[in-house]
Amino acid sequence: MAENIRLKEIKIKGFRGYGREEVRIDLSDPVVLLYGGNRSGKSSTTNAVEWALYGGEVTGKKIGIAERKGWEARNRHCDSIGVELVLESDAGEIRVVREMGEKKRSGESFYFVDENGEKNKNQEELWSRLGMDARDFMSSAYLHQEVIRDIVVSEPRVREEALNRLLGISDLFNLSKSLKDIKKKSYEDAVSNTYERLQQLIKTKSSAYQETIDGSIEEGEALGMAKGDFTDKGFGERCSKACELVKGLAKKAGLEDPGLEPPEDTTDFMGFESRAKEAVRALRNENPAAVSQAALVEERGELDAALSEYRSKKERKERLLEEKRELEKEGGQEELERKKQELEERQKELEEELGRINTRLPVIEATVTYLERLEDKEGTTACPSCEQDIVPREVLARLREVKAGMGEEAGEKSGEKKELAESLSSLEETVERLRKIQEVELPKAVEEMKRCREKIGEILEREIGEDEDPESIANKRLEEIEDKLEKTKKLLQEYNREIDGIEDALKEARLIRDVLETKEKIAVIGKITESREWEEMGETRAKLFQELEAAKKVKGAVDAVINELAGEKLRETEDAISSYYRALVERPDFESIMIDPEDHDVYAVSGKDKEKVIKFFNQGDMNCAALSIFLALGGSSAREGATGFLVLDDPSQSLDSEQKRKLAALIDRVAADRQVVLATMDEELLKALQSNVSKVKRVYRFGEWDPVKGPSIKGE
C-alpha cells in the first residue's frame, strides 16, 4: 500500500521558520518545486513533512544526521506548533495532525484520520502503512545531503546501513546487528563472573555480618556486659529491668503507671523501645525534684532581685541624709534664710551707693571736659552749673580729685557687689537643695524603701514590721533556699541516674537484639547455596551457554539471507543504477557503477575492471553516483515498501551546469513512477527542471523571510 501513498497538502504554523499564521501549500501535483535562497523557509517546508509523519523521531542526532543535534522544532517567536499533512492513497485521504506546545516532547500530540474517517492516535500504525520507520524514511524517501555522504563516502558500517535501508532489508540487517552484539565469550564470562560474585557476596556478606556482631559485643563490653549476656535470656532481663525502673519512677513522680511490658522476642523490640522512650520523656518532664528545684531557683532569683533593689534604695536614702548633714553645717534652714536676707539687704545698699556715684560722676566728667576746653583757665568765669564766679584752674583741679576718688570707690563697691552676688547665688542653691532633699527626695526614698520592704514580704509571704530588718530576714530565707537546693540536687541526681539506668538497659537490649538478629541473617545466608533456587540457577547458567551458541548459528543464517537478498535486489536494480549514472555522468574511463553486495562499497566499472569511486571521482561525480543509487532504489519497484513520493533537499550541490540539466531529465524519468518534491536554491537547476520535466509541475518561490511572520511564498 505504501507505494500508492502520495502527498496532497500541508498546513504549517509555528514550525521552524514558519510564523504564527497558518500557511497552506498544495503538494498534489506530480512534481512540486520549492525555490528560494538560504534561510527562506524551503527546508522548513520539507522538514514539516517528515515531522508530521515521525515527530521527535527525526529531531536530535539519533536519526543519523549530525545537524539535527540540538534541532528545535518550534519557532522561538511562537507558543506552539501545528502541522497538518494530507496524504492521498487509492482508498482515499489520510489526514495526519501533529502539534506541540511550549514543553517540547512532553507537550506533543498526534493523531491521523484514515480513509474511512476513523481517528487513530497510534503513530506506529501510520508508519506501518507507510512501510518504513523514521530512519528508513530518511534513507530511502527523503534525500538529505548527509544521506548522499552515507551512500558513498561514509565509513563501511554507516554506508552498509544506508544501503540496506535503500534495499528494504534494514529489518534483517538490524536483526543481524543485534545478534552480532551478543558476545558469546563475554556473556559466558559475565555469567560465570556473576555466579562467582554471588558466592563471594555470600562470603563477604557473612563476614560483614560477623563484623557487626563483633562490633556490638565490643561496644557491650565497654558498657560492662559479658559475652554470655548476648542471649535471649540477657535480652529479656534488660527489657524487664527497664520496665521495673519506669514503673518505680512513675510512682515517685506521681504519674500513672504507663503499663510498659517486656517484648516477647526481638522482633517486637522496636515498638517496645519506642514506648519506653516515650515513658522516659514523660518522666523527665514530670521530674518532681526538677519541679521543686525550678521553684526554689525562681524564688531565689526574685528574692535576690528584691533585696538588691532594697539595698540600692537604702543606700540612696543614706546618701541623701549625709548630703543634708553637710548642707546643714552652715546652719539650719532658718539660719540660712537669715544669712540670705542679710546678703540681700547689703546687696541693696551697694546698689543705692553705686547709683549715687553713677549719678554724680557723669556731671563731674562733663564739667571737667568743659573746663578743659576753656582757653583762659586763670581768670574768673561763671560756673556752667550754678553760674557763680569760679577760677577754672582751681575748680578743675578739685574736680579731678573728686572724679578719681569716686572712680576708686565705685570699683571697690562693684567688686564687693560681685562677690556678694556669688555668695548669694551659692546660698540660694544650698537653700534650694536642702529644701528639695527635705521635701521631695527623702520622702520619696523612704517610700521606695517601704515598697521594697513590701515586695520582700510578698515573696516571703509574710508582713515585715517597721522594727524588722528586711535584709536579715531575706538573707535567712536565702540560706534556707540554698540548703533545700543542695538536697534537691541530690534527689535530682538520683532520679536522673534511674532514668539513665532505663536508657542503659534499652541500649544493652538493643545491642543484644542486633547480635541475635545478625546471627539469624548469617544462618539464612548459609542456607542459600543449599537451596533449590541455587541449584536451578546453575541449570539456567548451562542453558544460557547453549542458547548463546544457538544465537551464533542464527546470526550466520541471517547474514546468509541478507547477502542473498542484497545480491538479488542489487542485480534487479543494477541496470537502473548504471542507467541513471550514465544519464548523469559521461566518463570515458568508467562507463557504469555498481554496489558490491559483500562490502557494500560503490565501485566504478570499466569492462571487467572496477575501482572504488572514492579513489577517482571528484565531488560532483560522487554526488551523481549517490543520486543514481538513491533514485534507482528509492523509486524502484524492487524495493518493498517504497513510498509513492520522494523528497529531495538541495540535490545539485557540486554539480556543473551540464550535470544539473541531466539531473532534471533524470527526475523526469523518476516522476513517471513517483511523486517528487524538490527544494533548491539553484536557479540553474530550477530552469532545467522547468524545461526538462514533462510532468505537471507546481513551483513555489520563497522570498524574504521574517523571523516572526515566517516565509514569503508565491505559487506559480
Question: Which pLDDT value is given to residue 660?
Answer: 92
User: How far apart (Å, rounded) are the C-alpha atoms in residues 118 and 105?
Assistant: 25
- Bigger pLDDT: 279 or 488? 279
pTM over 0.85: no
Task: For residue 132, name the pLDDT band (cuts at 50, 70, 90).
Answer: confident
Judge if 136 and 280 occupy the same domain: no
| Confidence category of residue 6, pLDDT binned at 50, 70, 90 | very high
pLDDT reported for residue 306: 87
Quick one: pLDDT at residue 638?
44
CATH number at residue 327: 1.10.287.510
pLDDT for 93 equals: 93
8 Å CB contact between 61 and 71: no
124 and 269 belong to one structural domain: no
Render 150-185 in DSSP notation, one character per residue.
HHHTS-HHHHHHHHHHHHT-HHHHHHHHHHHT--HH
Whether 40 and 117 share a structural domain: yes
Quick one: 301 and 447 in the same domain?
Answer: yes
Separation of alpha carbons 15 and 78, rounded Å: 8
Mean pLDDT (whole number) for 291-295: 73
Assign 8 a pLDDT band (cuts: 50, 70, 90).
Answer: very high
Mean pLDDT score, 20-36: 94
Band of residue 121 on the pLDDT scale cut at 50, 70, 90: very high
Q: Does residue 195 fall inside a structural domain?
A: no
Residue 702 pLDDT grade (very low, low, confident, very high; cuts 50, 70, 90): very high
pLDDT at residue 104 greater than cutoff 60: no
- Domain check: are 135 and 231 in the same one? no
The pLDDT value given to residue 664: 93
Sorting pLDDT into bands at 50, 70 and 90, what band is 525? confident
Tell me the residue type at 591. Answer: E
Domain co-membership, 500 together with 484: yes
pLDDT of 3: 61
Range of 237's domain?
205-286+473-526
CATH number at residue 110: 3.40.50.300
* pLDDT value of residue 327: 80
Q: Is residue 192 part of a domain?
A: no
Cα–Cα distance, 148 to 141 (Å, whole number)? 12
Name the pLDDT band for 340 (thresholds 50, 70, 90).
confident
Q: Of the spans 79-88, 379-388, 470-479, 520-529, which averages the highest pLDDT?
A: 79-88
| Identity of the amino acid at 439 | E
Q: Give per-residue pLDDT as tens, 680-689.
A: 999 999 999 9
| DSSP string across 429-463 | HHHHHHHHIIIIIHHHHHHHHHHHHHHHHHHHTSP
pLDDT digits (tens, 9 = 90+) for 586-633: 887 888 888 887 777 888 888 888 888 888 788 888 888 888 888 887
- pLDDT tens-place string over residues 163-208: 766 666 655 656 656 655 555 455 555 566 666 777 777 788 788 8
Judgement on whether residues 559 and 497 belong to the same structural domain of the protein: no
pLDDT higher than threshold 90 for residue 418 = no
